[in-house]
Amino acid sequence: MSKEIRDSAILNPASDTATGITEARRQESLLKTGALQNAIFNSANFSSIATDAKGVIQIFNVGAERMLGYAAAEVMNRITPAEISDPEEVIARAKALSAELGTPITPGFEALVFKASRGIEDIYELTYIRKDGSRFPAVVSVTALRDDEGVIIGYLLIGTDNTARKQIEEDRKLLDQRLRDQQFYTRSLIESNIDALITTDPHGIITDVNKQMEALTGCRRDELIGAPFKNYFTDPERAEAGIDLVLSEKKVPNYELTARARDGRETVVSYNAATFYDRERRLQGVFAAARDVTERNRLEEQVRRRTVEVEAANKELEAFSYSVSHDLRSPLRSIDGFSQAFLEDYGPLVPPEGREDLERVRRATQRMGQLIDDMLLLSRVTRREMHMEKTDMSALAAEVAGELALGSPQRDVQLTIEPGMTTTGDPQLLRIVLVNLLGNAWKFTSKREHAHVSVGTVQDPEHGPAFFVRDDGAGFDLQYKDKLFVAFQRLHGQDEFPGTGIGLATIQRAVRRHGGDVWAEGEVDRGATFYFTIPDLHVFYRVKGEQP
Partner 1 sequence: MSDKFILLVEDNPDDVALTLRALKKNNVANEVIVAGDGAEALEYLMATGKYAGRATSDLPEVVLLDLKLPKVGGLEVLRAMRTDPQTRLLPVVILTSSVEEQDVITSYDLGANSYIRKPVNFEQFLEAVRELGLYWLVLNQAPPVGH
Residue ranges in contact with partner 1 by CB under 8 A:
318, 321-322, 325-327, 329-334, 336-341, 362, 365-366, 368-369, 373, 376, 380
Distance in Å, CB of 306 to partner 1, minimum: 24
Taking the least distance from each CB to partner 1, the nearer of 42 and 334 is: 334
Distance in Å, CB of 313 to partner 1, minimum: 17
Taking the least distance from each CB to partner 1, the nearer of 183 and 494 is: 494
**Number of Cβ atoms within 10 Å of the Cβ of 201:** 15
Distance in Å, CB of 339 to partner 1, minimum: 8
Distance in Å, CB of 372 to partner 1, minimum: 8
Taking the least distance from each CB to partner 1, the nearer of 115 and 380 is: 380
Taking the least distance from each CB to partner 1, the nearer of 87 and 337 is: 337
Taking the least distance from each CB to partner 1, the nearer of 45 and 334 is: 334
**Number of Cβ atoms within 10 Å of the Cβ of 124:** 13
Distance in Å, CB of 533 to partner 1, minimum: 26
Q: Which residues pair with 268 in a beta bridge?
A: 258
Contacts (Cβ under 8 Å, ≥6 apart) of 168: none
Taking the least distance from each CB to partner 1, the nearer of 369 and 535 is: 369
CA dihedral 42, 45, 50, 54 (to 10 degrees): 160
Three-state DSSP class for 151? coil
Is residue 278 a contact partner of residue 284, using CB atoms and an 8 Å limit? yes
Q: Which H or E element spans position 306?
A: helix 294-323
Distance in Å, CB of 436 to partner 1, minimum: 17
3-state secondary structure 435-466: HHHHHHHHHHCCCCCCEEEEEEEEEECCCEEE
Contacts (Cβ under 8 Å, ≥6 apart) of 13: none
Residue type for 316, please?
E
For residue 275, CA distances in Å to 203, 226, 249, 381 come to: 12, 18, 9, 52
Taking the least distance from each CB to partner 1, the nearer of 10 and 341 is: 341
Is residue 284 a contact partner of residue 198, using CB atoms and an 8 Å limit? no
Taking the least distance from each CB to partner 1, the nearer of 34 and 427 is: 427
Q: How far apart are CA 63 and CA 48, in angstroms?
A: 7
Q: Which candidate, 211, 84, 268, 54, places its Cα nearest to that of 145? A: 54
Q: Which residues pair with 424 in a beta bridge?
A: 390
Distance in Å, CB of 376 to partner 1, minimum: 7
Q: How far apart are CA 360 and CA 373, in angstroms?
A: 20
Distance in Å, CB of 386 to partner 1, minimum: 14
Distance in Å, CB of 358 to partner 1, minimum: 12
Q: Distance between the two ends of the chain, CA-based, in angstroms?
A: 100
Taking the least distance from each CB to partner 1, the nearer of 333 and 450 is: 333
